[in-house]
Structure 1
Amino acid sequence: MDNMTFEEAKKKLEEIVNKIKNENCTLDEALNLYEEGVRLSKFCDEKLSVFKTRLSEIVDQTGALDDER
């Protein structure tokens, strides 16, 4: 999962949600899909956190948003 992009993880997470909602999953399959979904959700949260931190650092260094006001 480490080499997965945010967009790929989000798409996979959406697929998992649709499988659980729309297909006749066994309880075991649904649980396995749910566990994978939790891992993907955490991965996406971590990616977004890194993105926000980097964006803040760039703005602090360059004052980029100040120029647009």
Structure 2
Amino acid sequence: MTNSHPQRETDADAAADALHAALGRAGIVLPSLTADTASPDLGLVQLGRVRADVALRLAEVIEWGAGRARG
């Protein structure tokens, strides 16, 4: 999988907040979503574990968004 966005230093807290807000607009809650404080220099976001139905809903939203991005 390739990333079309150039890698840049991103604040993990801001990234987690942005992802939480976007998922919320899609009706998806990842209860364990947070910035990973164990490795602050890496800028990691902890997504956590979710029920299978939430994972399927997340996959549907990603597929929908990917389809829109392709045009």
TM-score by length of 2: 0.35
Counting helix residues as a fraction of each chain, which structure ranks higher? 1
Counting strand residues as a fraction of each chain, which structure ranks higher? 2
- Which structure has the higher relative contact order (CA within 8 Å, separation 6+)? 1
TM-score by length of 1: 0.36
